[in-house]
Amino acid sequence: MAKKFYITTPIYYPSAKLHIGHTYCTTNADVIARYHRMKGDEVYFLTGSDEHGEKIQKNAELKGVTPQEFVDDIVEGIKNLWKNLKISNDDYIRTTQQRHIDVVQKVFTKLLEQGDIYLGEYEGWYCTPCESFWTDSQVGEKHLCLDCGREVHKAKEEAYFFRMSKYADRLLKFYEEHPDFITPESRKNEMINNFIKPGLEDLCISRTSFTWGIPVKENPKHVVYVWLDALLNYISALGYLSDDPSKFNTFWNDDSYILHLVGNDITRFHVIYWPIFLMALNLRLPDKVFVHGLLMMKDEKMSKSKGNVVSPDPLIERYGLDAVRYYLVRETTFGQDGSFTPEQFVERINVDLANDFGNLLNRTIAMIIKYFNGIIPHYVKPVTSFDQELEEVGKNTIALYKKDMEELKVTEAIMEVMNYVSRANKYIEESKPWELFKDETKKEALASCMNHLAGVLRQCGILLSPILLDASKKLFTQLGMDESLTSWDSLDNLTLVGGQEVQKGEPLFPRLKAEDEIAFIKSLMKA
C-alpha cells in the first residue's frame, strides 16, 4: 500500500535573491520527493517564503518600495529559479497570503485563550538580521549574536510570550520515545545541553517596534513575531483551521510520514519551538526533522549580506539542468557541511557524468549497432562469470540504493549507482566484446554481454531519474525503451531488455575543457 509522504523545505527569507546554498536544500528535497513518487507513494512537497519582519521592512524602505512590493519581486525570482531547476513542489506557501494569515491569527487566539500566551515586557539583546533576542549570558562580553556572530543591541518593548517552560519536560520525553526524530543525533544533544537543560525560557512571539507582520487581533499594535508566524506554514499550507482541511487530514495524520528538511542554522526553531507549538495545539509531531549542513564558499558560510555567493541560473544555462542538480546532491554528503568550488564542479561533471555514465551509454550503443545491427539481443542465461558477477552487483546496488534513500542518505545512494556504472565499464574490459565478435563460437557470450550492458544502463537510468531529469529520458530514448521498461516495478530485473532498437544520439554530457570552465565560474563568483 502506498504511503502518504509529506516533505517540506524551510521557507526562505526573501531579503535578497537566493543563491546556490538555498538551491542545495531544495534540490535534495526534490530528489527525495521524486523518489517517493516513483515508488508509488502519495507525496505532498511544500516550499515557500517567510516574508515578514523588521529586516524586510527596512530593506523595502531603502529601495523606496512597500514591503509587499519588495517581497513580490524577490519571490518571483525564487519561483523562476525553482522552475529552472524543475523543482516538483506541489505548493508554494507565502506568509503574506491570506490563507496563512488567517491560520496564524486563529492559532494565536487559541493559544491565548488556553493560557499558553501571556502579555509581558521584553528586554534583551536583539539581532536584527536573525530577528532573535538573546540574554546577557548568551551574547557574552562582546555582545555578539549566538547564531550569526554579528553585534546585537539592547531592546525593550511590550510583547506577548509563549510559555515554553510548560512543555520542556514533555519535549524531552518525546525525544526519548522517538530517537529518530532529529537527524543527526549530535543536533539533538546540542539542543538539549545548550537550550533545554539550562532552563527553557518563555519565547517572545510579538513585536511593536515594526509593523510589517500579521497583526494580533486582540491587540493590533502587536504583530506576530517571526517564529510563530513562519513555522505555522507547514500546516497553514495544508488547510489547517480552514474551510477545506482535506489536505491537512490527509497529510498531517498518523498514517502519513512527515519530514522537515532544515539547515543547521535554524535547528533550534524546528526541534524545540515547533514541536512545542504542536503539543500546545494538540497536534501530532513530525516523524523527522533532518538537519542538513550548509554549502560553503571558500570555507566560509555563503551569505547574501557578505556577497560571497554564486547564482545557479548561469550554471544551468551553461552546463544544463542535470549537471547542476547532480553536483548539488552528489558532491556534498547530505547532512554535512560542504563547499562549492569551480574545480570540484567541473571535475564532477567530467569524471562522473561525461567519462563514466555518458561514455558507458555511447560505447554500449556503438557496439550494439556494430555487432547486432542496432537491436538489443535477448537474454538467455549468464554465459560468463563476469555476467554473473555483474548481476550480483546490480542486485546489491538496488538494495543499497533503496535503503539509503529511505534513510535520506541521498549522496550515498547516488554513489552506489555510480559505482555500478563504473563496474559496468570494467565489465566491458573484462568481457572484451571486440574479441567475442571475432569468434563464431562466442556469439552467445557477446549477446549476453550486450544485453547486460543495456540492462545496467536501463536500471541506472531509473535510479538516477529523480536527479537527472533530462539525461534519463534521453538515455531511455537512445536505448529504445518504452514506459514499461522505465517504471519502478521493472527495476529489479536486469535482463528484461531485448528486441529494442537503439539509436545513436548526442552525448549526454559533453566533456568540459576544465581550464576555461573554471575561469568562467570564478568570474560568476566575482559578479
Per-residue model confidence as pLDDT tens digits over 27-58: 999 999 999 999 999 999 999 999 999 889 99
Q: Domain range holding 300?
A: 4-309
Residues 181 and 247 in one domain: yes
**The pLDDT of residue 298:** 58
Mean pLDDT of the residues in the chain: 92
**The pLDDT of residue 415:** 97
Cell of 336: 554535512
DSSP secondary structure letters along 434-448:
HHHTT-GGGHHHHHH
Euclidean distance between CA atoms 237 and 242, whole angstroms: 10
From the list 262, 366, 328, 364, the residue with the least C-alpha distance to 468 is 328
Residues 164 and 238 in one domain: yes
**The pLDDT of residue 293:** 79
Q: Do 55 and 15 touch, CB atoms closer than 8 A?
A: yes
Domain presence at residue 43: yes
Domain count, the chain: 2
Quick one: which H or E segment has residue 378?
none
Residues 272 and 363 in one domain: no
Domain presence at residue 325: no
Domain presence at residue 507: no
**The pLDDT of residue 308:** 56
Domain presence at residue 523: no
Residues 190 and 51 in one domain: yes
Residues 378 and 425 in one domain: yes
Residues 301 and 253 in one domain: yes
**The pLDDT of residue 104:** 98
Residues 291 and 183 in one domain: yes
Residues 252 and 351 in one domain: no
Low-confidence ranges of the chain (pLDDT < 50): 304
Per-residue model confidence as pLDDT tens digits over 316-354: 999 999 999 999 999 877 767 778 888 999 999 999 999
Residues 298 and 430 in one domain: no
Residues 296 and 367 in one domain: no
Residues 262 and 398 in one domain: no
Residues 177 and 300 in one domain: yes
Which CATH number does the domain housing residue 358 bear?
1.10.730.10
